[in-house]
Structure 1
């Protein structure tokens, strides 16, 4: 999509999993950057390993991103600001291509995925208060058969499944893997496949 999907509060969006107790407040708007990093060997997608010191989702793999602040112009501005804060991705090296559909989480976040091509002018540097490490997964790996598997998790006595990507000893699962798979299906999968 060339523009972010508008949020319709009356649309009754279902989250990726349903919490035991329904939320009694509007969702928190957030944005993540699906950065297609141009390297000599081809394009790759940028991921972060979150710091183990964080209160939520500590140690998990994520895209750069976070809450949309009142001072952000839009979701793209928020995603690029967060990418700078988390890994020193210079916004002038990024060209926004578009957006994936909104993704509503069971933790009550409404995420706008922002897709951009990045031609880095300097190495990515993790902010140690938020990010333990930064790594990239080649698009060729994600497009290959077997790049994705499913992961099953128990939550509130119910089993849920999510996409999973294993790469270089790290496991990408949950929201990040689901968004990666959505990107795969919308932008990478061959027509009819």
Structure 2
């Protein structure tokens, strides 16, 4: 099979090179949490939190497809109490039984979309992301060679879709908009693709992944 005139074997070599470049720009281990004073939340709540942040992990999955690499997203179920109907990466709270953030992210992806753990190869981690809702998120980046289609768990996920990595390579794919929460107004990144709007935490993490891992080689 060919894509844009490129033989499949050559395309896979290109993908392997890109994946290796991405892996080389990521943290080898999850960033250690050294105190809330060292982090700035993505927005400031009107009342400061009086409890430690909740550890969580999300999976930024680079999926190998015949058309090239793509990034996996979910549309959350409208019945969920938190962030219902929004676009998100697979993920959730890190449970006490999880070995680490990668274990949590892969477990959640299995529960939400049926990801087979053996289909994933963890490449590394992005820096911690602290939310105004007091979650401390470790983004886990993995290369996925799926052996079966992703199937959304209807209790958590309404739909599953993928955005071509080529689309996310371009800074022009990102815009910003303002969100007001009570008396506070803040700006988030936004990505529009195939009629869907990715914004908030998920768009911010996608942009951070773009800035850290997807930029061209320098020097």
Same fold (TM over 0.5): yes
In the alignment, what sits opposite 2:14?
Answer: none
Instruction: Tell me which moved more, 172-181 or 11-20.
Output: 11-20
The C-alpha deviation readout for 1:120-171, integer Å capped at 9, x for no partner, is 0000000000000000000101112421010211112232110000011110
Aligned length: 192
Between Structure 1 and Structure 2, which shows a larger proportion of helix residues? Answer: 2
Q: In structure 1, list runs of 5 or more residues that go unmatched.
A: none
Output aligned runs, 1:8-47, within 5 Å: 8-9=34-35, 11-47=37-73
TM-score, length-normalised on structure 1? 0.97
In the alignment, what sits opposite 1:152?
Answer: 178
Cα root mean square deviation, aligned? 1.0
In 1, are the aligned partners of 2:95 and 2:104 still within 8 Å (CA)?
A: yes
Report the alpha carbon displacement of residue 191 of structure 1 after superposing the two structures with TM. Answer: 4.2
- Does residue 150 of structure 2 align to residue 134 of structure 1? no
Report the alpha carbon displacement of residue 40 of structure 1 after superposing the two structures with TM. Answer: 1.0
**Runs of 4+, deviation exceeding 3 Å:** none
In the alignment, what sits opposite 2:96?
Answer: 70
Instruction: Tell me which moved more, 78-87 or 151-160.
Output: 151-160
SS of aligned partner of 1:179: helix
Q: 1:163 aligns with which of 170, 174, 189?
A: 189
- Does residue 192 of structure 2 align to residue 188 of structure 1? no
Who wins on radius of gyration, i.e. which is larger? 2
In the alignment, what sits opposite 1:115?
Answer: 141
Report the alpha carbon displacement of residue 10 of structure 1 after superposing the two structures with TM. Answer: 5.6
The C-alpha deviation readout for 1:80-116, integer Å capped at 9, x for no partner, is 0000000001010000000000000000000000000
C-alpha distance in 1 between matches for 2:71 and 2:143: 9
Tell me: CA distance 1:191–1:159, structure 2 relative to 1, closer, same or farther (3 Å): farther
SS of aligned partner of 1:146: helix
C-alpha distance in 1 between matches for 2:193 and 2:148: 24
Q: 1:55 aligns with which of 62, 65, 81?
A: 81
